[in-house]
Amino acid sequence: MKLPEHVTICEVGTRDGFQIEPDFIPTERKIEVVNLLSDAGVPRIEVTSFVHPKVVPALRDAEAVMAGIRRRPGTRYAALVPNDKGAVRAVDAGVDAIHTVLSASESHNLANVNMTIAASIEKLRAVMRVAERARVAVGCGISTSFGCPFEGEVPIARLESVVRRLVDIGARAIGLADTTGMANPRQVGRALEHLMARFPGLEWTLHTHDTRAMAIPNILAAMECGVTHFDSSIGGLGGCPFAPGASGNVCSEDLVHCLGAMGVETGIDLDRLIAASRRVQEIVGRPLPGQIVKAGKFTRRYPLPDGVAARLPGTGA
């Protein structure tokens, strides 16, 4: 496998995960989790979303969370915004980067943000102007990049068209999202090879959901294409309220463990990340999908059953 020496992980659990929890996560607990992720050395964190409180009430405390977190040098703190008003709020709150999103399929874009793709592009154009004035980086995410729960597979030509329209308004960082876990590694590889050849110089990110247990295989396919930026979610939290059947994002600690086992550096302290995941489970009050919290790292060893040690070759028995 052609693997990079280092990849950059962006943690999205406190936004993508907490936004759909049935019970409101208290502000101080959100701040606690962001700080735990910072302490683990996570280089990028999508902390919250500056969206209207009536639309996403779970994140109505966005300003308070941003004001309360402890900033670690070396970590970039971002927020998702839906429009220029949200962008202004995010800038005023001191974000290091703004993330935006639209869909590759018209039906999902209408369900998700109640706009056509063309209308979303105009909204994002205004966001880009706000970010440019504030000298804040922007990452543009494309939901349903590989498949739509309403329309089925999204043709590469349609995805390319959306990317081109984003590039035309100034996008230099593009995230491809497998919103409902419909993608497979061959499809991911084909799409990235096609797009990366046509849009050289962009920063590409893959945002995967593990709905069908394909998230890490899809990430490995993207890595072989040269992608080195990936979103993940602590404990596997997450989902999309406007994408039927969507489950959580790829689990952060599972992904970091996998990459570390293959010798790919992330700069993240896995033990601290696992501890953060256990704390998140306590906060949400239920077990989460992550596997490493349950099984331990691949280096974990167990005591031998009674009587076995004495029968091993070379013990003199």
* Residue 173, strand partner residues: 203
Question: Of the listed 10, 148, 240, 251, which one is catalytic?
Answer: 240
148 among known catalytic residues: no
- The 3-class SS string of the chain reads CCCCCECEEEECHHHHHHHHCCCCCCHHHHHHHHHHHHHCCCCEEEEEECCCCCCCHHHCCHHHHHHHCCCCCCCEEEEECCCHHHHHHHHHCCCCEEEEEEECCHHHHHHHHCCCHHHHHHHHHHHHHHHHHHCCEEEEEEECCCCECCCECCCHHHHHHHHHHHHHCCCCEEEEEECCCCCCHHHHHHHHHHHHHHCCCCEEEEEEECCCCCHHHHHHHHHHCCCCEEEEEHHHCCCCCCCCCCCCECEHHHHHHHHHHCCCECCCCHHHHHHHHHHHHHHHCCCCCCCHHHHCCCCCCCCCCCCCHHHCCCCCC
Q: How many whole angstroms separate alpha carbon 17 and alpha carbon 170?
A: 29
d(CA 253, CA 188): 22
User: Nearest Cα to 48, choosing from 74, 67, 72, 23?
Assistant: 67
**Residues noted as catalytic:** 240
